[in-house]
Amino acid sequence: MFFLLLVTLFTGQVSASASETAFAPSQAGTVSSSTYTAPDKYDPKRDPDKDLAAAEAEAKTSNRYIIVIVGGDWCSWCHIMDDFFHDHRDVTALREKNYVLMKLNMSRENENRAFLSRYPKIRGYPHIFILDADGKLVQSQPTNVLEDGRTYNVKRFKKFLEEFAPKPST
């Protein structure tokens, strides 16, 4: 694990993390009075069980799934993903329309082992878990397949977000 962290840290280009802009989900006829605030960074002091409970409550009221992005401030590709969402508002809008964002820290300071033990093993960071509104795993997604050079591929990321989005009820 430590070797993976060192390789990621020293081979990646560290960029400044851009704060993500919050977009309201586009639910026709729905007025949200949500108090949910999506995290804008990986915080080792956060309680992932409380974060998941809040994300589940928001997902249920807004008819969305939960996108859990696992990473840390040490992770160059995590910063690249933050910048990607900041630079591609259309991808961010698609994410916010269909998913409640939860960022989960994984670092030496807090590996969140108990929480992550519920899900498939992660082999690289950042890693994405898509959960339904009840917290059930829908998809475990390595992000390297979404990469394109030193950023992420817009078309592939959109396709991924669309493929695992909640299906409209009939």
Q: What is the pLDDT of residue 108?
A: 95
pLDDT in tens, 25-59: 444 334 356 778 988 899 999 999 999 999 999 99
Q: What share of the chain is helix, strand, coil (3-state, %, to 5)?
A: 40, 15, 45
Tokens 């030496």 -> residue: 108
Contact residues for 160 (Cβ-Cβ < 8 A; gap 6+): 141, 146
pTM to 2 decimal places: 0.81
Compute the average pLDDT of residues 4-20.
Answer: 38
Q: Which two tokens stand for residue 12?
A: 């990646």
Three-class DSSP category at 111: coil
Question: How confident is residue 159, by pLDDT bands cut at 50, 70 and 90?
Answer: very high
Q: What is the pLDDT of residue 23?
A: 41
Compute the average pLDDT of residues 10-18.
Answer: 38
Question: How confident is residue 170, by pLDDT bands cut at 50, 70 and 90?
Answer: low
Task: Enumerate long-range contacts of 147-153, CB under 8 Å, 24 or more apart.
Answer: 147/77, 150/13, 150/80, 151/80, 151/83, 151/84, 152/80, 152/81, 152/84
Compute the average pLDDT of residues 103-117.
Answer: 97
Residue 127 has pLDDT above 60, yes or no: yes
Which residue from 72, 68, 79, 133 is spatially nearest to 101, judged by alpha carbons?
68
Residue 165 has pLDDT above 90, yes or no: yes
Between 88 and 14, the more confident residue is 88
- Of the CA atoms within 13 Å of residue 139, those in its CB half-sphere come to 18
In residues, how long is the chain?
A: 170
Q: What is the pLDDT of residue 51?
A: 97
Specify the fold of 2-15+39-163: Glutaredoxin (3.40.30)
Three-class DSSP category at 94: helix
